[in-house]
Amino acid sequence: MRRMSKAAYEAQAAAIQAWHDERKRWYPVTKDGTPVKPGDIITSFRGEAYQFDLVTAHPEGNSQGKITVRRPNGEPVLGGEYFPHVFDLTLVRREDA
C-alpha cells in the first residue's frame, strides 16, 4: 500500500470535515414547515411512532438525504436510518450556520 502524502492527507481530511459541517446545516421540517428537533416524536407512513435522532446524510445530487430515529422510549432501532419521506418530512438547509 502506498502512503499518502501529507498534503493529500490534509486535503482529504478537509473534504471530510467540510462534508460533516454541511450535514450539520440540514434539519427536517414537516409539510407545514414546522422544524423537527432531536427527541421530537414523528410518525411513519405506517402510523408507527419514532423519536427523531439526527440527520445522517444531507441531500446531494439525486439523494434526498437520510435521518436516524429511535423508539419513543429512546431505545435504538436496528437499521434505524430512513429517507425523510418515510415520515413525510423534508430536509431544509439552514443558511445562517
Q: Does any domain span residue 43?
A: yes
CA distance 66 to 79: 12
Strand pairing partners for 69? 52
Task: Taking residues 20-38, report their average pLDDT.
Answer: 91
- Indicate the length of the chain as a whole number: 97
Q: Does any domain span residue 73?
A: yes
Q: Does any domain span residue 36?
A: yes
Q: Does any domain span residue 61?
A: yes
pLDDT at residue 19, rounded to an integer: 83
Give the count of domains, the chain. Answer: 1
Domain carrying residue 11: 6-93
Task: Taking residues 7-22, report their average pLDDT.
Answer: 89
Q: Does any domain span residue 31?
A: yes
Q: Does any domain span residue 1?
A: no
- Reply yes or no on whether the pLDDT at 97 is more than 80: no
